[in-house]
Amino acid sequence: MRVRRINGILGGTAALALALTACGTAEVGGGNGGGEGDGGEGGGDTITIGVKYDQPGLGLLENDAPVGLDVDVATYIAGELGYEPDQIEWTEAASANREAFLQQGTVDMVVATYSITDERREVVDFAGPYYVAEQDILTRADEEEIQGPEDLAGRVLCSASGSRSAFNITEERGIDAELREAGNYSECLSLLGNGAVDAVTTDNTILAGYAAQNPGTYRVVNNSFGEERYGVGLPEGSTELCEEINAAIAKMWEEGYTLEALETHFGDTDFAYAETAPEADACE
């Protein structure tokens, strides 16, 4: 396995990777002899995690730190790997740079509404899924004609570059919408607000957060489709780490932590989130 950007006071990545290889464990930073939460090697290491910074409920930058479901999931997983919250370095990930961040070692993992797909699996590894979302559509509250994907034919549709949400509408479902790609979903929201686009499509989790943030302005069509299986993105070749993270995800659901986090971040919205633990994929 490769462990990147784990910066230790005792010589950084290479020394740590060697130590991990020597103990035959995939537990990043913690070793496996001291039980859980042993705080990383010497307490000086950090783990760098990519999350979204503009998605309410999932990853939203508030006062200098991101908050949301993905942030909580990442914090739990990091804890199981031996990192205290103050050993986590957050980095903003956009839909379009998640693979590159993992390939280039900019981050150690990505927890950013990152759907597991075969195409992405060709260049990165995934642990999980930790949550299964569906896709939906957000439009202005006074727009009555858009009630489902078919109604997007001939309309201007926004999604984030690097996501597969637009592809699911235009290619997979063959709906002839005019596509406007933005850098992220909050840009789509601005375009929807000023009438430059008619609708935004992506995961129901993301849209629920925006709708709750702008009551009376936007409406989730609430006619969801497809399956978006959120994985923890890892650099290619992270099989053992993937197994550790799958164990952490199982425990996170068993302990009720995931449901609590969902309730914290979506309990005050109209979103009926999934309440069951998804089955993990095999790590390869």
Number of residues that bind ligand GLU (CB under 6 A): 12
Taking contact as CB under 6 A, which single stretch among the options 15-23, 108-116, 147-155, 269-277 is the one that binds ligand GLU? 108-116
Q: How many CB atoms lie within 10 A of CB 259?
A: 15
For ligand GLU, which residue of 5, 155, 164, 265 counts as binding (CB under 6 A)? 164
Phi, psi angles (nearest 5°) of residue 218:
-120, 160
Our finding on whether 27 is near ligand GLU (CB under 6 A) is no
- Please report whether residue 139 would count as binding ligand GLU according to CB under 6 A: no
CB atoms within 10 A of CB 267: 10
Shorter beta-carbon distance to ligand GLU: residue 115 or 246:
115
Q: In the structure encoding, which two tokens stand for residue 187, read together?
A: 């840009």
Q: Which of 203, 241, 242, 269 binds ligand GLU (CB under 6 A)?
A: 203
Stretch that binds ligand GLU, among 157-165, 192-200, 242-250, 271-279 (CB under 6 A): 157-165
What does the block give as tokens for 263? 């309730």
Binding mask 222-261 for ligand GLU (x = CB under 6 A): ------x---------------------------------
Measure the CA–CA gap between 176 and 163, rounded to whole angstroms: 18
Q: Does 204 bind ligand GLU (CB under 6 A)?
A: no
Counting contacts by CB under 6 A, is residue 202 touching ligand GLU?
yes
Which of 95, 201, 246, 258 is close enough to bind ligand GLU by CB under 6 A?
Answer: 95
Cβ 82 to ligand GLU shortest distance, Å = 28
Interaction between residue 91 and ligand GLU (CB under 6 A) = no
75 binds ligand GLU (CB under 6 A): no
Of 46 and 163, nearer to ligand GLU (C-beta) is: 163
Cα–Cα dist 41/44, whole Å: 7
Is 170 near ligand GLU (CB under 6 A)? no
CB-based contacts of 163-167 (< 8 A; 24+ apart in sequence): 163/95, 163/202, 164/115, 164/117, 165/135, 165/201, 165/202, 165/203, 166/201
Q: What's the Cα-to-Cα distance from 271 to each of 41, 128, 206, 209, rounded to whole Å?
A: 41, 22, 10, 9
Which whole-number Å values give the CA distances from 68 to 54, 80, 85, 107, 180, in the listed order?
Answer: 10, 19, 14, 19, 27
